[in-house]
Structure 1
Amino acid sequence: MSTITVTTWSLRQTSPADLRPARGPVAGVRIVRAEVPSPEFSRFLYTAVGGDVRWTDRLGLGYEQWAALLAAPGVETWVAYENGTPAGYAELAAGADGAVEIVYFGLLPAFRGRRIGGHLLTCATARAWDLGERWPELSATRTVWLHTCSKDGPHAMGNYLRRGFTVFDTTVEREPDVLSPGPWPGALSRPLSQP
């Protein structure tokens, strides 16, 4: 199996004041919390968003494993919709000592480059900062962090930096060159027809 070199950057904010909001999105975009944990919906979002950027770490999980991850205290899924169609999502997870990770973040390929990503990241980061208000059994948020890598889209790092995240760690590793199947074969190359 061939391998590729992957650089991973960890980024963080240490205060809600670090967040620099994006301009508002195009008309018809809403960000909504998926309040009922749904392994089927979360797996759809994961494969649809991560298929072309090689997200594979959760592909082998069974239904019960997905359900357990989503039901953990402090785990939230925030979904961007454009005119009722899922366009992307962010998954938040509370960790120890008030650290909240934006575990997954991204847009379906057809919705990239349409001013949705900055708005979604702004909303997800703000929800990470006030996560403790919705989960009183958890510590108040003290830091919000995420990671991105050289496999991600070309605008990912710029979006994170423009929203006020700063790099605090960088690693370089070799890993198998595996492409996620996406939601189904051929789905990644189909353009979205515009209204």
Structure 2
Amino acid sequence: MSITVTTWSLEQTSPGDLRPAAEPSGDIRIVRAEVPSPEFSRFLYSAVGGDIRWTDRLGLTYAQWQEILGRPGVETWVAYDRGTPAGYVELDPQDDGVVEIMYFGLIPAFRGRRIGGHLLSYGVARAWDLAERWPERPPTKRVWLHTCSLDGEHAMDNYLRRGFRLFDTKVTEEPEAPSPGPWPGAGTI
């Protein structure tokens, strides 16, 4: 069996495109994970993407995770709710001032609480000012990402509300497979 998956690519081409979300109530903090940690990044990846079929990095070795996270300009920004990781955004600078939001999302228990819009706004702002922290990187002139029909129900709306514009759509057939986890029944707190 296979399922039809639609993938949308979206972009911003100016810092002025960003329309920030309001900050959520409560003790929400966003902190850069400055020490590349394959263990922590794999935890975030599987906790956020387990129920929406993120699988592309699950087979990577420790060394491959280190290589990805250790590249100059790659940044992981983590949202915490009262000290507990709630979600993250991973920035991946590419050539010629392009920054891809490689991964973005919330752990299922934290979805629907207005944290996602704030985290995305913060992450996009950090993509636009990335060269200030990484002088060897050129100034950012484009920020882009992709999302798909398997992502959370509010993902596309969040991207559009933050000022992203659609530039490409692809439809593919993928093998139907169960979500990998983080474990069966994970979800609410």
Q: 1:47 aligns to what? A: 46
Q: 2:188 aligns to what? A: 191
Deviation by residue 1:152-177 (Cα, 9 ceiling, x = unmatched): 01100000000000000000001112
One-letter code aligned to 2:118 = H
Which structure 1 residue ranges, 5 or more long, are not aligned?
none
Q: 1:124 aligns to what? A: 123
Task: After TM superposition, give the deviation of residue 121 of structure 1 in Å.
Answer: 0.3
Task: After TM superposition, give the deviation of residue 187 of structure 1 in Å.
Answer: 4.5
Distance 1:140 1:191 in 2: 40
One-letter code aligned to 1:124 = G
Task: After TM superposition, give the deviation of residue 179 of structure 1 in Å.
Answer: 3.1
One-letter code aligned to 2:134 = W
Q: Is the 8 A contact 1:47 1:180 kept in 2?
A: no
Distance 2:67 2:178 in 1: 26
One-letter code aligned to 1:68 = E
Q: What is the TM-score with the length of structure 1 in the denominator?
A: 0.95
Distance 1:135 1:4 in 2: 41
The answer on 1:36 being equivalent to 2:35 is yes
Deviation by residue 1:100-122 (Cα, 9 ceiling, x = unmatched): 00000000000000010000000
Size of the alignment, in residue pairs?
Answer: 189
Distance 2:177 2:57 in 1: 13
Task: After TM superposition, give the deviation of residue 148 of structure 1 in Å.
Answer: 0.3
Distance 2:176 2:88 in 1: 25
After TM superposition, what 4+ stretches of structure 1 lie above 6 angstroms from structure 2? Answer: none
3-state SS of paired residue (1:126): helix
Within 5 A, what are the aligned runs for 1:1-195? 2-183=1-182, 185-188=183-186, 190-192=187-189
3-state SS of paired residue (2:59): coil
One-letter code aligned to 1:89 = Y
Deviation by residue 1:75-116 (Cα, 9 ceiling, x = unmatched): 000000000000000000000110000000000000000010
3-state SS of paired residue (1:6): strand
Name the % identity: 70
Deviation by residue 1:21-75 (Cα, 9 ceiling, x = unmatched): 1011121000000000000000000000000100000010010000100000110
Distance 1:102 1:170 in 2: 17
3-state SS of paired residue (1:42): helix
| RMSD between superposed Cα atoms in Å | 0.9
Q: What is the TM-score with the length of structure 2 in the denominator?
A: 0.98
3-state SS of paired residue (2:40): helix
